[in-house]
Structure 1
């Protein structure tokens, strides 16, 4: 079994409240979940208006497949255009 874990850090422009941030984060999370069938959640910086940290998790049987899916997921999230992606981190664990 192979587990792929990723973290994406976004900068949300023109956001002046947690309500505005929540709207953007929910849209990103929902689109990633629907498109990739992955576990997705906001994992850090919950109280900072213009910054969001979203974590993703994928499970599979092949390391190359999980790596390719995480790469596609990161590109998809960046191409959404809802927020500027600042940084990404990825780790693949074989169990």
Structure 2
């Protein structure tokens, strides 16, 4: 069994409140949950308006399958114009 974990930091543009930030993150979160077999959560920078950290995890018997799912989710995040992905870290267990 392989567990794939990715942590990525996001810069969120054009938000002036935590409510606006949560709206952007909820949109990203919902799209990822609908399209991919991943668990996702906001794990840091809860009280900062224009910064967020998302963590995603998936489990499979094959590392390539895990990596493909995580890369597709990262590509979806990259396609969102309101957020820019900066630091990204992968872990394998």
Q: Which TM class, normalised by the smaller chain length? A: over 0.9
CA contact 1:67–1:92 (8 Å) conserved in 2: no
The 4+ residue runs of structure 1 with deviation greater than 4 A are: none
| Contact 2:10–2:53 (CA under 8 A) maintained in structure 1 | yes
Q: Which runs of 5+ in 2 are unaligned?
A: none
For the pair 1:85 / 2:85, whether they are aligned, the reply is yes
Alignment-derived partner of residue 17 in structure 1? 17
Q: Work out the CA distance in 2 between the residues paired with 1:13 and 1:82.
A: 6
Q: Alignment length, in residue pairs?
A: 93
- Gapped regions of structure 1 (runs ≥ 5): none
The two structures, once aligned, show a CA RMSD in angstroms of 1.0
1:32-83 Cα deviation digits (max 9, x unpaired): 1111021011010000000010110101110111112211211121112231
The alignment's TM-score, normalised by the length of structure 1, stands at 0.91
The answer as to 2:56 corresponding to 1:56 is: yes
Distance in 2 of aligned mates of 1:81 and 1:32: 15
Indicate if the aligned counterparts of 1:59 and 1:66 stay in contact, CA closer than 8 A: yes
Counterpart Cα distance in 1 of 2:76 and 2:34: 12
Q: Which residue of 2 aligns with 1:35?
A: 35
Q: Is the 8 A contact 2:13 2:82 kept in 1?
A: no
Distance 2:3 2:88 in 1: 17
